[in-house]
Amino acid sequence: MTMKEVERAFDLALAFPQWQGSGRHLNLSRGAEATATVCARFAPIVTVPLSELGGSAFRINKWNAIFDQFCKACEILSTHAPKRLLTAGGDCACDIASIAYLRRLYPDLTVVWIDAHADATTPERAKNGNFHSMPVTALMGHAPEAMDQRIRIPLDPMRFFYWGVRSDNESDRAFWGRGVPVLEDCSRLSGPVHIHLDLDVLEPSEFPYLAYPEPNGMSVHATLSLIEQVARYSSIVGLTITEFAPATEDDAERGAKVIECVCKAAHRK
């Protein structure tokens, strides 16, 4: 990939260092910074400022800061109006603003949620109140009212697919009922697609820089191959990378090499 191709890979990189949605936020700030540094090579970057608000609400820990940052992200996206968006998280819940924006831009948007966890609990069913376990249900109309009004158009469950989930809980299963929708054939994808990549989908023995490692994960090679296939059969208009939690700067440097490969894979045809 030439420098010119890299520069036009995405219209905007949204650095979204939110950590408040995670119950294990140690090292997430270092990971968000490293992710943003990589993403800045693929698009002009704008940072969502961290909120100083305290307090919880709606059974959600640190809700006031989370909602404040969500609103700031929405304002940035409205101002810059990107058609192809790269988001550097942060915890999983930072993807709500990005997907809500793209859903308004592309009514036929499909979301591929690459994650070890289903992230489909609700505030009423959540045991720990951590919002990074709730972004999928929030996008489908189950966010607190103020956020739901800003999302405006719920995500169509028929245009949503998981890949790599191996740790769903009772609340996740209760939400889906019919079973979580799994991406089985990339050739069936078409039109605009957003990819959510939680790095804990990866096998922790190969990629250990995680807050919530789960055994029996996917290899880096298999994950890159999947993203390349999605790019081959559809148009990737959004990519969010979340939950990178390196314990040291050396770990951040090693993990960043994988993140760079992810960004390149999303742009490869």
Residues 184-221 have pLDDT tens digits of: 899 989 999 999 999 999 999 999 999 999 999 999 99
pLDDT computed for residue 2 by the predictor:
47
**What confidence tens digit (pLDDT) does each residue in 229-264 have?**
999 999 999 999 999 999 999 999 999 999 999 999
d(CA 196, CA 177): 22
Residue 74 pLDDT exceeds 70: yes
pTM value surpassing 0.75: yes
Query: Does residue 160 sit in helix, strand or coil?
Result: strand
Residue 3 pLDDT exceeds 60: no
Beta carbons within 8 Å of 84's beta carbon, 6+ residues apart: 9, 10, 11, 12, 43, 236, 237, 238
Q: Please, which pLDDT band fits residue 268 given cuts at 50, 70 and 90?
A: low
Domains and CATH numbers, the chain: 3-267 (3.40.800.10)
Percent of the chain residues past pLDDT 90, beyond the cut: 83
d(CA 175, CA 255): 33
Mean pLDDT (the chain) is 93
Averaged over 21-40, what is the pLDDT?
95
Q: Please, which pLDDT band fits residue 180 given cuts at 50, 70 and 90?
A: confident
**What confidence tens digit (pLDDT) does each residue in 81-120 have?**
999 999 999 999 999 999 999 999 999 999 999 999 999 9
According to DSSP, residue 196 is labeled E
Sheet arrangement for strand 160-163 = 45-47, 12-16, 85-89, 235-242, 192-198, 110-114, 160-163
Q: Higher model confidence: residue 195 or residue 7?
A: 195
